[in-house]
Amino acid sequence: MISVNDNFLKLPGSYLFTEIAHRVAAYKEGNPQAQVIKMGIGDVTLPLPAACIMEMQKAICEMAHKESFHGYGPEQGYEFLRQAISDDYKQNGVSLAVDEIFVSDGSKSDCGNIGDIFSNSCKVALTDPVYPVYVDTNAMAGRAGDLLPNGQWSNLVYMPVTAANDFVPELPKEPVDLIYLCFPNNPTGTTLTKSQLKVFVDYAHKTGALILFDAAYEAFITEKDVPHSIFEIPEARDCAIEFRSFSKNAGFTGTRCGFTVIPHDVKAKGAKGEVVELNKLWLRRQCTKFNGTPYIIQRGAVAVYTPEGKAQVRQLVDYYLGNAKVIRESLLKAGFAVYGGVNGPYIWAKTPDNQTSWEFFDYLLKEKNIVTTPGVGFGPSGEGYIRFSSLGSRENTIEAMRRF
Ligand code: MLT
């Protein structure tokens, strides 16, 4: 019998959202009449922007003729989309070469796959609570050590983000190589100002660490002084990689498209001390393991950058932010301590009466027929919190809040 990658055996039984889906399915089976409202996984519910649909329809027609048919595309994405992305960054004062942008089938894949290009000896720091993909993929690679009874991994460095520190992580307390940051934050919905983010950039500079910056929720930023990209801080060009997504702004959760930015200035060293560009390694990785995002999807994504596309995306995001406002205000009125929901689609609330996250999750599912995400599923510091997603319909959001 062959041997498996033992690191997989150290993982909890199932991925957080799979576990929740199982519990909800079991409840629904026993209670088929229950009107269950989903505010758990951050999946969008409104249709794709019309501008994207039109471009995709045109692209489908192109696929029907041999003169305009597209087979394998460039693994790193078509030039038309990478150029549009680069032009968009320019409007925020960030200059990126087209070959510093890698289009993919979504930022979840990229956040997970990026670990391929780093040594297994890299020490990883991440916020707690945190998007579980960063933890689980490092555990699969063997960088996380062992899962301890307190829910932490023995080899990861945790930077708590809680009400006690206003959801602003402190710098790692020991030397680290990779720092995962997600702002606007999943799961807390909170964010960092430019000067707060610069503290991390300065730290990375000083110590030689690399920041893996997940900006999947940047479209939800409403407040000034909150950076949409880590590269708005010029010093980040040689110490950060950024992940972006079309999922939450343009509704591509099922259509799949995202991209990763790796400036040429980001370098690391090999075992013999040779200095290498991470951009080159990622290109090598993608060309070997990925055959590119479908042409039809990339044509849809490029429409996001047209004037019509931008206006339609704005409408989608404003709709969800409207839901977030409903959730925030209703929970506040009901006496909850509530965070987030102003620059991001998630609302993070303290559970009442010292209930654990799973206790309150079960109560909401069974008594109110509302699916949420238990805070502890994002890490030990999430214990005692619950996450609401605002990405559902307005009607369901209002109905769920009425049940409070
Ligand atoms: C979430 O609910 O945390 C997100 O939907 C996860 C994701 O985008 O993969």
pLDDT for 94:
98
Q: What is the largest CA-CA distance in the chain?
A: 66
Rounded distance between C-alpha atoms, residue 183 and residue 185, angstroms: 4
Rounded distance between C-alpha atoms, residue 249 and residue 302, angstroms: 13
| Atom 5 (ligand 1) nearest CA | 42
Distance 88 CA to ligand 1 centre (A): 24
Ligand 1 pocket, CB under 6 A: 41-43, 108, 131, 186
pLDDT for 279:
98
Q: Which domains does the chain have, with CATH numbers?
A: 14-47+308-403 (3.90.1150.10), 54-306 (3.40.640.10)
Q: Which atom of ligand 1 is nearest to the CA of 373?
A: 2
Distance 345 CA to ligand 1 centre (A): 11
| Atom 6 (ligand 1) nearest CA | 42
* Ligand 1 pocket test target in 41, 113, 243, 246 with most atoms within 8 Å of CB: 41
Distance 394 CA to ligand 1 centre (A): 20
* Ligand 1 pocket test target in 43, 130, 348, 378 with most atoms within 8 Å of CB: 43
Q: Which atom of ligand 1 is nearest to the CA of 187?
A: 3
DSSP letters of 167-191?
Answer: T-PPPPSS--SEEEEESS-TTT---
What is the pTM (predicted TM-score) of this model? 0.97
SS3 316: helix
Distance 43 CA to ligand 1 centre (A): 7
Neighbours of 216 (CB within 10 A): 25
Q: Which atom of ligand 1 is nearest to the CA of 245?
A: 8
| Average pLDDT across the chain, whole number | 97
Neighbours of 347 (CB within 10 A): 29
Query: For the chain, what is the radius of gyration of the CA atoms?
Result: 21
**Nearest 5°: phi and psi at 267?**
-130, 160
DSSP letters of 124-173?
Answer: EEEEES--HHHHHHHHHHT-S--B-TTS-BTT-EEEE-SGGGTT-PPPPS
Distance 138 CA to ligand 1 centre (A): 17
pLDDT for 403:
95
Distance 281 CA to ligand 1 centre (A): 27
Distance 338 CA to ligand 1 centre (A): 20
pLDDT for 64:
98
Residue in 393, 333, 385, 332 with CA at minimum distance from that of residue 361: 385
Distance 250 CA to ligand 1 centre (A): 15
CA geometry: angle 333, 169, 278, nearest 5 deg = 130
Say yes or no to pLDDT of 14 above 90. Answer: no
| Atom 9 (ligand 1) nearest CA | 108
Rounded distance between C-alpha atoms, residue 115 and residue 319, angstroms: 35
Burial class of residue 154 (count of CB atoms within 10 Å of its CB; 0-12, 13-18, 19+): exposed
Taking only the tens place, the pLDDT of each residue in 239-270 is 999 999 999 999 999 999 999 999 999 999 99
Secondary structure of the chain: what % helix, strand, coil (to 5)?
45, 15, 40
pLDDT for 404:
84
Q: Which atom of ligand 1 is nearest to the CA of 186?
A: 3
Rounded distance between C-alpha atoms, residue 111 and residue 340, angstroms: 23
Taking only the tens place, the pLDDT of each residue in 271-301 is 999 999 999 999 999 999 999 999 999 999 9
Rounded distance between C-alpha atoms, residue 156 and residue 124, angstroms: 6
Taking only the tens place, the pLDDT of each residue in 185-205 is 999 999 999 999 999 999 999
| Atom 1 (ligand 1) nearest CA | 42
Q: Which residue's entry shows tokens 């409408």?
A: 315
Q: Which residue's entry shows tokens 């520190």?
A: 165
Say yes or no to pLDDT of 13 above 90. Answer: no
Interaxial angle between packed helices 295-302 and 79-91, expressed in degrees from 0 to 180 and rounded to the nearest 10: 30
DSSP H or E run through 268: strand 267-269
Taking only the tens place, the pLDDT of each residue in 128-184 is 999 999 999 999 999 999 999 999 999 999 999 999 999 999 999 999 999 999 999
Q: Quick one: pLDDT band at residue 15, thresholds 50, 70, 90? A: confident
Taking only the tens place, the pLDDT of each residue in 359-374 is 999 999 999 999 999 9
- Mean pLDDT for 106-112 is 97
| Atom 8 (ligand 1) nearest CA | 42
Taking only the tens place, the pLDDT of each residue in 206-221 is 999 999 999 999 999 9
Q: Which atom of ligand 1 is nearest to the CA of 248?
A: 8
- Mean pLDDT for 36-44 is 96
Q: Which atom of ligand 1 is nearest to the CA of 253?
A: 8
